[in-house]
Structure 1
Amino acid sequence: MTNTELITIAAILIGPIFAVLISLWLTNKKQERDQKLVVLRMLLSTRHLPADPGFSVAINLVPVEFSSSRPVMSAYKEFIRAVQDPAAADPNAPPLQSTSAKTTKLIFEIVRHLGFEILESDIQHAGYAAAGFVDRDNLLLDSQRATKNIADILWIQTRLLAGESWDSIQSSPVPNIESPPEEKGKKKK
């Protein structure tokens, strides 16, 4: 066998293996980028609505998708600190402003990591949330608060109707909710 034949046989055997390996590597890189883009899109679309569940999901995915990026992880840690203790993050700024600035910084670092050219000021100011959606979200939050207040009032009313004195109710202000007795023959879960 000549050298040319050996090279040809080696190329026939090794060429497809390298092609498959390169294809798998490229596919993996594309999937990683796509997952990072999902997080970025979720953050960009909900950045002005931090109570949105999608925002929380995206924030919680940052360490998973961007763990290898120091600037992103640094901005993420600053954001978490600002959320957990807004006064410590920036004592001179109002709490919501400090958190908003940290959110913008985090999104900006993700944008830079992914190679987009978006200004940090555009991230901060160029967003849209329909007034009706914000109103609906605020109404939902108000109704959830009201539901708790109604439950508390009904609890007090029930105790008053049961003959308890107001002083007795005030001395144990937290409802003592007992689980219902189990029926005979039912197994405990």
Structure 2
Amino acid sequence: MELVDYLTIGAIIIGPIASVQIQKYLERRKETRNEKVRIFRVLMGTRGSSLSKSHVEALNQIDLVFEDKKYQSVRLAWGEYLDNLNQPFNDNNFSIWVNKNEDLLANLLYEMGLALGFNYDKVTIKRKSYTPVGHSNIELENQSIRKGILELLQSERTLPMQLILSQEELDNQKELRDLMLKYYENELKKEN
């Protein structure tokens, strides 16, 4: 056998194996990209409702999915945003904190978009999302309800109550009270 024969046999054996390995590599690469795009889409779709469960879950997957060195700008933007999210706030600095979060989220989405080949500017990311006022109202009401219930359970607040009785019911209550008082007065006299 000549060298050409050995090369032909080698190609016949190695060709299908290499083809399968290349196909697997391309599938993994496509799957990884699809996961990155999915996270980007979830974050873009929920950027107006950052308290939603899907938004938070997508944020928490950034370090896992954007782990390659070429996504360092995404991880840095996520680190800045996460740092601000974890900053304490109060009534005095709440609006400043929220505005900074919006800016940092827009920067994160901008960096993700660039890394994935999408061309969105930061203004578009920040300003072109729709969040119904009703969703904000529902969230504020739910928060207020939860806070009120906690205050009740922790005895920090009382539950106001008002009895509504008709005049006839009030008269019956008064008559019953008078009869009870009279009965107990008589019982006390008997004991003495």
Please confirm whether the aligned pair reaches a TM-score higher than 0.5, indicating the same fold.
yes
Amino acid corresponding to residue 58 of structure 2 in structure 1: A
Contact 1:72–1:110 under 8 Å retained in 2 = yes
Cα distance, 1:139 vs. partner? 2.2
Give % identity: 22
**In 2, Cα distance between the equivalents of 1:45 and 1:144?**
27
Conservation of the 8 A alpha-carbon contact between 1:86 and 1:99? no
**1:146 alignment counterpart:** 148
CA distance in 2, matches of 1:43, 1:142: 26
TM-aligned CA deviation for residue 6 of structure 1: 1.9
> Which amino acid letter does the alignment assign opposite residue 110 of structure 1?
M
Residue 48 of structure 1 and its aligned partner are, at CA, apart by: 1.4
Unaligned runs of 5+ in 2: 160-192
Task: Provide the C-alpha distance between the structure 1 equivalents of 2:27 and 2:16, rounded to a whole number of angstroms.
Answer: 16
Q: Mean Cα displacement is larger for which, 77-86 or 45-54?
A: 77-86
State whether residues 81 and 104 of structure 2, in contact with CA within 8 Å, keep that contact through their aligned partners in structure 1: yes
Name the count of aligned residue pairs.
153
Report the equivalent of 2:163.
Answer: none
CA contact (8 A) 2:40 2:113 kept: yes
For 1:84, the equivalent position in structure 2 comes to 86
Unaligned runs of 5+ in 1: 158-189
**Aligned partner of residue 48 in structure 1, secondary structure:** coil
Distance 1:82 1:64 in 2: 20
Distance in 2 separating the partners of 1:6 and 1:154: 87
* 1:61 aligned onto 2:57: no
The CA deviation string for residues 77-121 of structure 1, in whole angstroms up to 9 with x for no partner, is 11122222378xxx9x81111111001111111111111111121
Letter of the 1:135 partner, please give it.
N
Query: TM-score under structure 1 normalisation?
Result: 0.73
- SS of match in other structure, 1:144: helix
2:31 maps to which residue? Answer: 31
Partner of 1:109: 111
2:151–2:157: 8 Å Cα contact kept in structure 1? Answer: no
**Deviation >4 Å, runs of 4+:** 154-157
Q: Which has the larger radius of gyration?
A: 2
Structure 2 length-normalised TM: 0.71
Q: Could you tell me which amino acid in structure 2 is paired with residue 140 of structure 1?
A: N
Change over 3 Å in CA distance of 1:97–1:124 after alignment to 2 = same
Provide the alpha-carbon RMSD of the alignment. Answer: 2.3
2:100 aligned residue (98, 101, 124): 98
State which drifts further: 136-145 or 109-118.
Answer: 136-145
Confirm or deny: 8 A CA contact 1:46 1:52 kept in the other structure: yes
Q: How does 1:149-168 map to 2 (within 5 A)?
A: 149-153=151-155
Deviation at 1:7, TM superposition (A): 2.1
